Amino acid sequence: MRFVNCFSIKTLSKFVIIALFFTLPAQNSSGVQKADAVLVIKSEKRLYLINQGERIASFRVTFGDKPKGHKQKRGDERTPEGHYVLDYKNPNSKFHKSIHISYPNARDREVARLLGVDPGGDIMIHGQTNGWGWASPIVQFFPWTDGCIALTNTNMDHVWEAVDPGTPIEIRP
């Protein structure tokens, strides 16, 4: 009888350990919790990493010279608003890493066509210009991108590890 009780406790322990393993948030090899979505709120100057509907990280960001309003054409220095996908990563960017946002989408292209303008593109989440990471504590307080979403290099490293290509991003005013 004692063997049966002991065996039951060991078996129960294994099930508890297995159950805990499957309920832990997904993490990558660097220990950064994975995000299943990204939310940017331009008016807050914040980028949020989301996992299962919960905000798991928050970072201060900066945009271009004219952050208010949706991007409509190349050179307007605006960041798009709406729902997009982070579709690929570029480790060899002129910035400290970059993650591409799938702007322009079909609607953006159609609006640009009706306006007779080029919608632009190459909108990214990225770190500082290569070689200028040391200036990020100051630079991040100024609008300096051409419509991208910029972070400090340290924060970009965190976002880089947390986000996989195919992750949805919502950008709100």
Q: Which domains are seen in the chain, by residue range?
A: 34-172 (2.40.440.10)
Q: What is the pLDDT of residue 127?
A: 97
Q: What is the pLDDT of residue 40?
A: 98
Residuewise pLDDT in 10s, the chain (173 residues): 444 444 444 443 443 333 333 334 445 556 789 999 999 999 999 999 999 999 999 999 999 998 899 999 999 999 999 999 999 999 999 999 999 999 999 999 999 999 999 999 999 999 999 999 999 888 899 999 999 999 999 999 999 999 999 999 999 99
CB-count exposure of residue 51 (10 Å: 0-12, 13-18, 19+) = middle
Asked whether 160 and 95 are in contact (CB, 8 A), the reply is no
- 68-80 in b/e form (b: 16+ CB < 10 A) is eeebbbeebbbbb
49-56, Cβ contacts within 8 angstroms, sequence gap of 24 or more: 49/159, 49/162, 49/163, 51/25, 51/26, 52/25, 56/25, 56/162
Q: What is the pLDDT of residue 137?
A: 87
In DSSP terms, 166 is beta-bridged to none
Looking at residue 29, the DSSP 8-state letter turns out to be: T
Ramachandran class of 32: left when φ > 0, alpha when ψ lies in -120 to 50, beta otherwise: beta
